[in-house]
């Protein structure tokens, strides 16, 4: 009788046992407009993100805009003129911090842009208004600050940990404070598309070097999303190879420091939860042989089995 019952169980369970894991449909499409952390002004940190199936993008940083869109057009990611895409398909820009390699494209394209919103934490917003859009360094295209107000951009100051909805995109975004050469700040943005998430980090140093707990706090926030399988990917910088001296990290990560931080995250999620997690490596600093070196180091020391992705300018990523 027991034998017959067991056979009956196998007959019922067989289709389930042989079934492959269900593949998740993409929740986001990401267009890297710039992937480097310096030297090449035509390829600096900037990523457009949209909910899958839509063409309403938000910008996560804005180091390069026009040149990146031109490259994406050549790669058949976009159709039409770059100027039209800037005006019509980008709903706003989320600025992680005000270093030029993260905002230069926004400044330079502003005379040919349309009305939209710039989002930033208070420290970054103040720098944008005081030092860039101030009527002296550049015309003030904003609706606050110094000089004549052109009012093309609405400045929306964010509160850390508070989610906001981005009009027309279907996306919600929550900012978190990062340390970028303590006590200066950068920002991580957690993007929510109906319960699927993408995490983008601006420049950040490791907690140990920064004498901070900002990254640990961020890992605590996203660990439940990873365990639930709803975090589609982490965009995080690795600027230098491992031979960069600690005193010359300047608030950045190396492959070794990234993996130390990923181990902190694994301590919160369990190692198995990180296997296959999409980790997009951003902000490599030329020369290019140094970037190739850090990529080799990342691939050679990946015990958690992360799915490392090295983005290319103008080539779409689906997550």
| Band of pLDDT at residue 221, cut at 50, 70 and 90 | very high
| Cβ neighbours for 272, distance < 8 A, ≥ 6 positions apart | none
Residue 193 has phi, psi (to 5 degrees) of -115, 90
Q: Residue 37: helix, strand or coil by DSSP?
A: coil
Is residue 246 exposed (0-12), middle (13-18) or buried (19+ Cβ within 10 Å)? exposed
CA 81 vs. chain centroid, Å, equals 25
pLDDT digits (tens, 9 = 90+) for 60-119: 999 999 999 999 999 999 999 999 999 999 999 999 999 999 999 999 999 999 999 999
Pairing between β-strand 307-309 and β-strand 278-282 as defined by DSSP bridges: parallel
Residue 15 lies in a domain: no
Residue 182 lies in a domain: yes
| Cβ neighbours for 245, distance < 8 A, ≥ 6 positions apart | none
Residue 7 lies in a domain: no
pLDDT digits (tens, 9 = 90+) for 289-298: 999 999 999 9
Please report, rounded to a whole number, the percentage of residues in the chain having pLDDT higher than 90: 90
d(CA 200, CA 103): 16
Residue 185 lies in a domain: yes
Residue 171 CB: number of other CB atoms within 10 A?
23
Structure tokens at 56: 């309403």
Amino acid 51: pLDDT: 98
Residue 282 lies in a domain: yes
- Identify the bridge partners of residue 174 per DSSP, sorted by sequence position: 190
Residue 18 lies in a domain: no
Residue 12 lies in a domain: no
Whether pLDDT at 312 is above 50: yes
156, 119 Cβ separation under 8 angstroms: yes
Number of domains comprising the chain: 1
| Band of pLDDT at residue 246, cut at 50, 70 and 90 | confident
Name which of 103, 300, 56, 91 is nearest 203 in CA terms.
Answer: 103
Residue 221 lies in a domain: yes
Amino acid 3: pLDDT: 53
Residue 147 per-residue DSSP state: S
Amino acid 86: pLDDT: 98
Whether pLDDT at 18 is above 60: no
What CATH number is given to the structural domain containing 188? 3.60.15.10
How many Cα neighbours within 13 Å face the side chain of 211?
A: 4
pLDDT digits (tens, 9 = 90+) for 119-169: 999 999 999 999 999 999 999 999 999 999 999 999 999 999 999 999 899
Amino acid 12: pLDDT: 45
Q: What mean pLDDT, rounded, does the chain reach?
A: 93
Whether pLDDT at 248 is above 50: yes
DSSP codes of every residue in 79-144: -S-HHHHHHHHEEEEE-S---HHHHHHHHHHGGG--SEEEEE-HHHHHHIIIIIBSSSSB---SSS
Whether pLDDT at 13 is above 80: no
Name which of 72, 23, 178 is nearest 59 in CA terms.
Answer: 72
| Cβ neighbours for 87, distance < 8 A, ≥ 6 positions apart | 112, 113, 114
Pairing between β-strand 153-157 and β-strand 164-166 as defined by DSSP bridges: unpaired
Pairing between β-strand 90-94 and β-strand 57-60 as defined by DSSP bridges: parallel
- Identify the bridge partners of residue 51 per DSSP, sorted by sequence position: 28
Amino acid 302: pLDDT: 98
Give the range of the structural domain holding residue 179, as residue numbers without chain letter: 26-318
Structure tokens at 201: 């980090």
| Band of pLDDT at residue 23, cut at 50, 70 and 90 | low
Amino acid 247: pLDDT: 86
């Amino acid at each position: 009788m027991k034998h017959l019952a067991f056979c009956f169980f196998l007959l019922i369970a067989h289709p389930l046992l042989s079934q492959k894991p269900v593949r998740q449909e993409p929740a986001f499409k990401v267009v890297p407009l710039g992937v480097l952390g310096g030297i090449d002004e035509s390829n600096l940190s900037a990523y457009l993100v949209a909910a899958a199936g839509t063409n309403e993008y938000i910008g996560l940083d804005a180091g390069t805009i026009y040149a990146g869109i031109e490259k994406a057009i050549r790669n058949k990611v976009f159709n039409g003129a770059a100027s039209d895409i800037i005006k019509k398909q980008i709903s706003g820009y989320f600025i992680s911090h005000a270093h030029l390699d993260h905002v230069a494209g926004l400044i330079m394209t502003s005379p040919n842009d349309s009305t939209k919103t710039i989002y930033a934490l208070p420290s970054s917003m103040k720098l944008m208004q005081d030092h860039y859009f101030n009527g002296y360094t550049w015309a003030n295209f904003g609706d606050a600050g110094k000089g004549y107000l052109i009012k093309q951009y609405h400045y929306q100051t964010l509160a850390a940990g508070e989610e906001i909805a981005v009009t027309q995109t279907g996306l919600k975004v929550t900012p978190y404070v990062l340390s970028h050469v303590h006590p200066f700040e950068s920002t991580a943005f957690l993007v929510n598309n109906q319960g699927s998430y993408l995490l983008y980090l601006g420049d950040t140093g490791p907690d140990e070097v920064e004498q901070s707990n900002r990254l640990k706090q961020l890992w605590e926030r996203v660990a439940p999303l990873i365990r639930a399988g709803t975090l589609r990917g982490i965009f995080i910088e690795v600027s230098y190879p491992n031979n960069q001296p600690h005193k010359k990290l300047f608030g950045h990560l190396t492959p070794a420091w990234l993996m130390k931080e990923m181990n902190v995250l694994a301590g919160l999620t369990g190692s198995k939860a990180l296997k296959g997690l999409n980790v997009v490596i951003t902000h490599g600093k030329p020369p290019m042989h140094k970037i190739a070196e850090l990529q080799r180091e990342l691939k050679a020391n990946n015990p958690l089995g992360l799915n490392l992705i090295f983005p290319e300018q103008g080539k779409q990523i689906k997550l």
